[in-house]
Amino acid sequence: MIKPHGSESLDPRIVSADRAQQLLAEAESLPSLLLNSAAAANAVMLGAGYFNPLKGYMNLADALSVSASLHTEDGLFWPVPVLNMVEDISAIEGASRIALRDPNTQGNPIMAVMDVAAIEKVTDEQITQMAQQIFATTDSEHPGVATFTNLGRFIVSGDIEVLNLSYFQADFPDTFRTAVEIRNEIAERGWNKVVAFQTRNPMHRAHEELCRMAMERLDADGVVIHMLLGKLKPGDIPASVRDNCIRKMVDLYFPENSVMVTGYGFDMLYAGPREAVLHAVFRQNMGATHLIVGRDHAGVGDYYGAFDAQTIFDDKVPEGALEIEIFNADHTAFSKKLGRVVMMNEAEDHSKEDFILLSGTKVRQMLGEGIAPPPEFSRPEVAQILMDYYQIQND
């Protein structure tokens, strides 16, 4: 199986049940910090092994280095800073060991214990510089920039031990999986060549066929559909609805033992190319050998070029930095001429009118009005789940 990123074996920061009880007892006497959602999501990803080989939150020097050059100070390839940014440090000032509390679970239980390496002030200029490098913009209308620039002006760095993985295991027991669990299931299924498909949306026919194309062209054993289960921008489809849509599609339209439907606990960054590289890092950690990267992968609005998330792997990822390979995909759509879904750049003698193309706005409008998109665009069973969701929203 493909090796994890940066180490010979996976080192998830989640602790055993016995160790968790010890840490909970200790935490009663420790200063505690209520995390923001972004820092809590990083703790979940560290705990689940997705951010291997990191052992905790980065310091300011590493954050600046990663933002500028996609490497930590000691040379580890990494595309996006993994930070615990804080607005108010009064409760933990001077502490060497602290308890981290979950902002996304009722009662704010302790989710990790941290050895504090440093508490550093970050300037507005440094925040702006990092935002520009990570998101390629400082526009406050960009949802990732808006979140990042308002997390706080102190960086609390250090290694963590994670006691629990927040609400994800309870809310998505059939879908949320750690990197360790996915690796184990890949091994149990006897898969060697494994394609990962990233999604924060329900999957329509184009996405379905893209998974099928990648499997066939790479002669892969299976696809891991790996959906984001954390926080999104307003208007995005909730994770539970997406999960139902994807499972229905897989159950009805894919051969048995060809697809794993799984999810991970992270908040969407909308960082386009940089986030695509992060996706590759943690998909390698979970055991995938290939990642599908399509048009405007992890993008939002018009902030990124259609293929920037593909070209970054050629322009900014040094050879040998990652073992996972990228399956580059163009926009896929149903060809009325050929009677099937194709990559548009591979369809000869086609004009735009030869494809069934619907904007996201148009699809949402149709679903909200109880009108199913054409079956060439969306499977009827998937469309029904979405129409039911929009009906509830509109009532």
| Residues annotated catalytic, as ranges | 200-201
Which among 257, 99, 237, 102 has a CA at the least distance from the CA of 169? Answer: 102
Distance CA 38, CA 43 (A): 9
Tell me the CA end-to-end span of the chain in Å, nearest whole number: 49
Residue 43: C-alpha distances to residues 123, 174, 206, 284 (Å): 24, 21, 33, 19
DSSP 3: P
Where do the DSSP E strands lie in the chain? 32-34, 56-57, 85-86, 97-101, 110-115, 118-121, 154-162, 194-199, 222-228, 259-264, 290-293, 325-328, 332-335, 340-343, 355-356
Sign of torsion, CA 217 223 228 233? positive
Residue 368: C-alpha distances to residues 241, 318, 356, 395 (Å): 15, 46, 20, 10
Residue located via tokens 């705990």: 47
CA within 13 Å, CB half, 227: 27
62 CB-contact burial (10 Å; exposed 0-12 / middle 13-18 / buried 19+) = buried
Residue located via tokens 């996976």: 10
Helices (H), 136-178: 143-148, 168-171
Residue located via tokens 């960082």: 271
Sign of torsion, CA 301 302 305 307? positive
302 CB-contact burial (10 Å; exposed 0-12 / middle 13-18 / buried 19+) = exposed
Sign of torsion, CA 354 355 358 360? negative
Residue 269 contacts residue 232 (beta carbons within 8 Å): no
Residue type, 154: F
